[in-house]
Amino acid sequence: MEKRPFNIVFQDYALFPNLTAYQNLTYGLRNFKDKATKEEVDELPE
């Protein structure tokens, strides 16, 4: 079986209320550390 990466796109606005905004932004990146660095995320507009 071929392994392919996948991600979830919520149809409704969905944030985890127990996480900060930064943690919500980086939540999906935890499994893909080579896709984005902390520095790239830190450059996002506030």
Instruction: Please write the tens of the pLDDT for every residue from 5-35.
Output: 777 777 777 788 999 888 887 777 777 767 7
Indicate whether 46 pLDDT > 90.
no
- Cα 28 to chain centroid, rounded: 3
Predicted confidence at residue 27, as pLDDT, reads 79
CB 28 within 8 A of CB 10: no
Predicted confidence at residue 33, as pLDDT, reads 67
Q: Is the pTM of this model over 0.75?
A: no
Coil, helix or strand for 4? coil
Predicted confidence at residue 1, as pLDDT, reads 64
What residue ranges do the domains of the chain occupy? 1-46
Predicted confidence at residue 18, as pLDDT, reads 94
